[in-house]
Structure 1
Amino acid sequence: MASSEQRVAIVIPARYGSTRLPGKPLADIAGKPMVQHVYERAQQVANAHAVVVATDDERVAQAVRAFGGECVMTSPDHPSGTDRLAEVMGQVDADVYINLQGDEPLVRPADIEALAAGMLADATVSVGTLCHPIDSHEAGNPNTVKVVLATNGNALYFSRSPIPYPRDAETATYLKHVGVYAYRRSVLSEYAELPQPMMEHAEKLEQLRLMAAGYCIRAYVVEPTGPGVDTPECLEQVRAIMSGQPQVSRPTLADIRLVITDVDGVLTDGGIYYDATGECLKRFHVRDGMGMRLLEENGVRVAVLSGRDSATLRKRVADLGVTLFQFGVKDKLAACNQLMAEAGVSAAQTVCIGDDSIDLPAFAACGMSFAVADAPAYVKAAATQTLSAAGGTGAFRELADAILHAQGNAAVLGTAAGYAQVMAKMAQ
């Protein structure tokens, strides 16, 4: 590895525990544990002086030692990966520390080398990271973190929302933040003492703590990267890529022609209320109704699927003009197949939204699936994506807006002229 006045250490955090994929660092990919692939790619970074794995689990440590890697044991109680990195700093001497996630087996050494080079070339840069261009469809996904940059490459803000917001038309260009960071030693030593600002709590993005404290984060633009490993589905995709298997194209929101939605816990907050006569009352969110009509008027059918049946539910569906529905359903997989046949669409053109175990068969039937934010962890794990809104708080509208953006119909959401084209048929 290259010599330099400043030492660069690549630290690979590798926690064994994972809600979606327990034991993730040790998952086998092409005959090696995933963490070994990351480690070996990190060793190819020419301007790095040290590569270590930081873990809180002896099973990971044993695997790293088995392939000849260097490992550092850290506390299991760190609230963030940056806090874990600060502990490693006490055991590994360097001037610049690069935090490279252990679930990125497709990382390109050249990208990490560029990040390190940027830090070494400009002493005024205290924190560095990476980003790459994405399309408007991916920008609408709250699980994809976006960043906007100043002319000099410094980050202006990171968000789960699409930034910048295209007020008049789909003219914005988007950058996805790649979660690789480079820190100077002085930054890490101060990080644990920094207060957590409101925007970090709201976005659940720890880099906003640094920005709120006045640190500049320089973002270096690279080519689009391969997928990381967050779920079992991601793992299979990475295995296929690394073994050279042909990639099966996955449905996107641009392909969707039918949205199947659950009711209790999705269109409502899950509460069930009874009036004095015993009639069941439900509280619906007005913007969800608008989202349904906007989809219908832009060529995407909406179907309502519920395990319950009531006069209240039937009245709401009738008010919205929804003609595809099934109530009192016990077998949601069969019901989804029937609704798709009625709408004349395929599974790849269908997305469903749910909140509980009863919706899992619907997830299996549809090409894409979304869980509301307050769904149980095992339901989120089974879904294609998780929404940022909870049931009854506009979750359906969040998905509807994302579909309209992906299909080039954002104007009906954000412009008076666009909305005027469909307003005569709108109902909430």
Structure 2
Amino acid sequence: MTTVALIPARGGSKGIPRKNLVAIGGRPLLVHSIAHARATAGIDRVFVSTDDDEIADVATSAGAQIIRRPAELGSDTASTESAIEHALASMRADGLVPDRVVLLQATSPFRSPGQLDAALQRFDREGCDSMLSVVRFCGFVWRDDGHGAAPCTYEPGARPRRQDIRGITLETGSFYVFTRAIFEATGARLGGRIATFEVPEADAIDIDEPADLERARAEALRRGFGADVDLAAITWLWLDVDGTMTDGAMYYGEQGDELKRFDTRDGAGIAAFKRAGGRVAIVTGEQSTAAGRRAEKLQVDHVVLGCQDKGAAFGEFCRRFRVAPEQVLAMGDDLGDLPLVGRVGVFVAPRDAHAQVRACADWITQRDGGHGAVREVTDRLVHARASLRRAA
């Protein structure tokens, strides 16, 4: 019997930009599912279905094979079933006709060791056609049937204790197992004889909104995953200005002069990083004379004022300076900085950054923008470079 893992991972995402590549526990979100599949003895091959070049590169590096999904199957409205159908057709075209598929949700980063092997063993033992991961649910559920509210999980006349509600589970979305035959017969991942596989509550975290991402990062720290970001490869510090090097406030003199408040400790930290051999870029959306003067005083290596597309600017920067994206630590606080997420080696947000930016960050500083956040980063960069020199 041939069993394949399939992980759909499209490039688009509304709630969290580049969601499948944001860092959880020191690695891109997608890579967790690839690692779980590769560690499962009962899975023969691991595939990622994507419409995105960067996701394809990350997945390949993590040991997965790529199925290129057409753009129409990567839209917000495209169903997972359509991606499964396309993937199976692609496999068949390459001479692979799997007996069984393990569908893994890329946005579920936690699966206990041995969980997928145990699920496959139970699948075989019980002769299932399909299986889904679930968590036990002990809540009091109601629905509106058009004639008023009706209970779903208990009888109001004999209200049980919460712990006495049994036999009710919630679908987690983390994984599904199904035979190719049942999918081809029904067009759905679940059909025929269906079994559930109960997983721990903490394994049911599904990342959809920024709050989910923060909860997942807390769980990753609790499990001891990637408690520290790796700064060893960083050679460039890429900085936003307003809200990062400043507190985001704008001041005007009586003559209409533009004034900004910069933290001298941040400046000292930038100078220390440059003395340690690092290089610095300042890229801001503002056409700011004050920012230009500050960059000149700090002898910054690369300055862009009035930048309207930081993603494009980053690509040009990498080409001009012949720097690999993973060698860059970028720091920003607002939505205009989000195109850098998933592209740079490390993305840092100040503590008071926009909530969506914080959710996407690899590291959130303990200090606010304009109040030592940059210094917090440069101190660690300098320490990392000193450690490299000692190791050499």
Q: TM-score, normalised by structure 2?
A: 0.47
TM-score, scaled relative to structure 1: 0.43
